Each structure stands twice: as structure tokens, then as C-alpha cells.
Amino acid sequence: MYVAVKGGEKAIDNAHALMRSQRRGDSKVAELSVEQIRQQLPLAVDRVMNEGSVYDPELAALALKQASGDAVEAIFLLRAYRTTLPRFGYSEPLDTENMQIERRISGTFKDLPGGQILGSTYDYTHRLLDFALLAEGEAPSSPAEGSCTEAGELEDSLCELEACPRVLELLNKEGLIEQSRQPGEADETPRDLTREPVNYPAERAVRLQNLIRGDEGFLLSLSYAAMRGYGDSHPFAGEMRTGRVSVELVPEELGFPIEIGEVLVTESEMVNQFHGSKEQPPQFTRGYGLAFGRAERKAMSVALVERALRAGELGEEVLYPTQDQEFVLSHTDCVSANGFVSHLKLPHYVDFQSELEMIRRLRREIDTGESSARQANESSEEDNRR
């Protein structure tokens, strides 16, 4: 039985009430606090901060709670909040060289000044479900399970380490890697893509902003494709570092930088081959990614896609979607993508009616066309018989 959908007002109110009760789940189970989400689901919080473009773990956790854990919905909530915030100024560039490192690895050198610091990672865990967590037991707190590591060693490995030079600077000393800025190129304030629309071709700073706000899954798949041959990408993980960096601002009335806080960030620098061009000798090139929080997958994906998008300016042939900036940059945003795909759920019956009318007409015309052709055929056959 068909019931015409009318009375939108009441339907919306009821839908919202149902959604709220579904989100809460069984009220016999204790309600999740925002602080619990922030403390115990930090990687989900980091993703929401990255794509939501706001460094605020508490609001990101609130958004996750409000969105029933749906990352894309949470990102949207944070973005819509962000839009209304007044803009006080732009910070100085982050100095990641002076990062207080908690994890730092390089795939290009066995050892290096400052050392490899494994820090906290899922990388070498065996992906076996830990039923102890199901039993609500505490996870073992020792860094080396079953071994006789002293508790003091864990603290040592967690304590903040000295700042250390970036790996790519070692290559830079030999002139084997491109300068991130061309000699004589001014340090221009990047355009802010949340204030101005992207015009194509977009400069590198705008591309990076776009990618960092981009959907993690989309960027991961694009970089995967680029490595599998759809993109001429042969990268090395030059360096990946995670840690705290101070944020500085130069207030107009002071004229010198003051520290206004610090952020936890993950930085990825990829080393890619480059065969040289007429202007430039063969050298390594860089792909760069920086993300809020502990977001290595995101930072690496950004670095890989970012490098692929430089194909045009490095004189490489642009053959694949990952190298095509209009294709990539127009489709990274999960808020836009989700909105547009989900808007198909809105009524389209007026346009559909137009199409119905058109299809019926075309079919009628084909039918009458066929029958008149048949008649014409028959009558000409009759003529022939006569």
C-alpha cells in the first residue's frame, strides 16, 4: 500500500527523537562520557580533528558521541561548528625540526642521528583479538610482555626525546634531494582554502590543505593505486615522526612571536625518484604530509598523493587519476562527497516525472514509428503484388 509522504514537520521531529534514543542504546548500560571517548578512542578523535580541520580533541570526541561513532557525520558536525568561529590570525609555520618526538622512524637508513624511535604503534602487533579486553580486564601495562623489563625502562622510552634533525636534511646536504622551495622563491603566506574557493591549477600549499582535510579512505586508496602502477610512484618512507610542536603567533601589537600552545602532529616525508628534466639533474623529490594527532596512515597517504599531483610541474606525464589535480582535489572532501551522494535520498520526483514523460513519449514514438513503418512496408508489398 502506498502512502504519500506528506506532513514533513511531524516526521522530522519523530525521526530526531528516534535517532536520539537509538544513539543512547540500552539505558541499562552506562552512558559513554566525552572524556572516555577522548581518552580511549584517541585515533578516532584524531581522524575527526584532521578532516574536521579543528585541533580540539574534546569537541572531536563530543562530535563522535553525538554522531553515534560515525566518523563522517562527526567530521561534518565539527566543520559546521568551525565555520562560525571568528578568525584571530594566522600562526607562524610549525617548526617540526624542533618537535618533541614520541615516535620517529625512517625506512631509508638503518640508523641515523637521533636514532629510530619505535614509540607506540600497532605495526608489529599480531592482529589477534584480545579476549582479555572483552572480559573488561586491563591490558598489560609493561612494554615487553612476559619479559623482565624494568618499569623504569618504559618510562625512559616514553619520556620526551631531544629534538633531532630531519632525515631529508641529510640528503639535502649532498644536494641529492630537491629544495622544498626554489632558490629565491619567497615564503608566501598560503591561501586559505576555507576562505576562498580553489582555482585550478591550484598551487602546492592549497593542494596540501585540501588533502589534509580529505577523506582518509579515499586518499589511502589513491596512494595504493599510485603504488600499484596507476601513478608512477616509487616512494621510500624517508621519515615519519610524531610528537608535540609549539604553535606561535605574532600579535600585531607586539611584533614578535609568542607561544600560544602546542599540538600533537604526525609528519611524513616521502622520498621519490626523479629522473631529471632539461632544467634539473636527476635527484630525489619530496612528498609531504602533516596531520593532527597520531595519524600515520593519513600523513603517508597525503604525502604519496601530494607527490603524484606534482607530476605536471615536474614535467612527468600526467596519465592517471591520482596525478590529475582536478580529479583528486574536487573529490577528497568527505563532507561534500557524503552530502552529494546522500542527497539522492531527497525527493527528485519532479525531475523523475519529466523523465517518465520523456521515456513514455519516446516509446510511443518508437511504437508508432514501427507500426507506420510496418504499414508502409505492407502497403508497398501490396503495391508490389499489384
In this structure, what C-alpha cell is assigned to residue 272? 621519490
Q: For other proteins, which stretch binds (CB under 8 A), given 5-13, 117-125, 165-173, 257-265?
A: 5-13
Tell me which of 45, 59, 212, 335 binds other proteins, using CB under 8 A.
335
Do 154 and 173 form a contact (C-beta atoms < 8 A)?
no
Do 295 and 219 form a contact (C-beta atoms < 8 A)?
no
Amino acid at 87: R
Q: Quick one: 155 or 365, whose CB is closer to other proteins?
A: 365
Determine, following the binding rule CB under 8 A, whether residue 86 of this chain makes contact with other proteins.
Answer: yes
Q: Quick one: 268 or 325, whose CB is closer to other proteins?
A: 325
Q: Quick one: 175 or 312, whose CB is closer to other proteins?
A: 312
Q: For other proteins, which stretch binds (CB under 8 A), given 223-231, 251-259, 283-291, 345-353?
A: 345-353
Q: Is the previous residue joined to 190 through a cis bond, with omega within 30 degrees of 0?
A: no
279 backbone dihedrals φ, ψ, rounded to 5°? -85, -30
DSSP states of 67-105 as a string? TTT-HHHHHHHHHHHHHTS-----PPPP-GGG-EEEEEE
Q: For other proteins, which stretch binds (CB under 8 A), given 224-232, 233-241, 281-289, 344-352?
A: 344-352
Q: Quick one: 146 or 347, whose CB is closer to other proteins?
A: 347
What are the angstrom distances between the C-alpha of 168 and each of 222, 243, 301? 24, 18, 18
List of residues 6+ apart from 17 with CB closer than 8 A: none
Tell me which of 22, 147, 199, 384 binds other proteins, using CB under 8 A.
199
Smallest distance, Å, CB 342 to other proteins?
6
Give residues 11-40 in contact with other proteins (rule: CB under 8 A): 11-12
Q: Quick one: 130 or 327, whose CB is closer to other proteins?
A: 327
Smallest distance, Å, CB 233 to other proteins?
23
Tell me which of 97, 355, 370, 378 binds other proteins, using CB under 8 A.
355
Tell me which of 28, 173, 228, 343 binds other proteins, using CB under 8 A.
343
- Helix, coil or strand: residue 208: helix
Site string for other proteins, 204-243 (x = CB under 8 A): ----------------------------------------
Give residues 177-196 in contact with other proteins (rule: CB under 8 A): 194-196
Q: For other proteins, which stretch binds (CB under 8 A), given 133-141, 161-169, 283-291, 348-356?
A: 348-356
Tell me which of 19, 133, 144, 356 binds other proteins, using CB under 8 A.
356
Do 66 and 131 form a contact (C-beta atoms < 8 A)?
no
| Cell 502497403 found at | 379
Smallest distance, Å, CB 337 to other proteins?
8
In this structure, what C-alpha cell is assigned to residue 11? 516526521
In this structure, what C-alpha cell is assigned to residue 178? 630537491
Determine, following the binding rule CB under 8 A, whether residue 351 of this chain makes contact with other proteins.
Answer: yes
How many whole angstroms separate alpha carbon 41 and alpha carbon 43?
Answer: 6
| Cell 636514532 found at | 115
How many whole angstroms separate alpha carbon 348 and alpha carbon 256?
Answer: 56
Task: Give which of 292, 278, 320, 284 is closest to 179, Cα–Cα.
Answer: 284
Secondary structure element (H or E) that encloses residue 225, with its range: helix 216-227
Determine, following the binding rule CB under 8 A, whether residue 130 of this chain makes contact with other proteins.
Answer: no
Interface with other proteins (CB under 8 A) = 1-2, 4-9, 11-12, 76, 79-80, 82-84, 86, 194-201, 326-327, 330, 333, 335-336, 338-343, 346-351, 353-358, 362, 365
